[in-house]
Structure 1
Amino acid sequence: LSLTGRNGHLEVVKVLLDKGATINVVAGCNRTPLHIAAKLGHFEVVQVLLNKGALIDAIAHDNSSALHFAAG
């Protein structure tokens, strides 16, 4: 899920979530798919993740949230 979010593959993200992928899985630097999609500007992926229940207040290793990344 993190890799598809990183690359902005919206349809693949939807399929993975529909098949039960763990939405708040933690990748490198303690970042979730939401952190990664927000940091890379894939806002359609961000919207899908939020609609499916991604934790908006999850904190990465540097004490940043997805909101910090989205704000720039």
Structure 2
Amino acid sequence: MFKIKLSVAGDVAGAIGFEPAGMFYELAYGECIYVHLNASQMEALEVTYWDGGISVWIQGEFVILDKAGKKLDDLWGG
């Protein structure tokens, strides 16, 4: 398993979205979330950046954790 840290770049708050599930998280400046992925998911991972956020495309089941390690969601990506 891999644990990937995701945050919004720059000195602003922003959003991180998970496609194709459609789940978005609004993060304050300096906040982050983590995603647990396996090796095959890492190979197919796609990340798109825009002003104020990122979109992450992940295949299969994955878990979203807050910065303290508390589970936020179990998601499925097409």
> Is TM more than 0.5 here?
no
Give me the TM-score of the superposition, normalised by structure 2: 0.22
TM-score, normalization by structure 1: 0.23
Structure (1 or 2) with the greater helix fraction: 1
- Which structure shows the bigger proportion of residues in strand conformation? 2
Q: Which has the larger radius of gyration?
A: 2
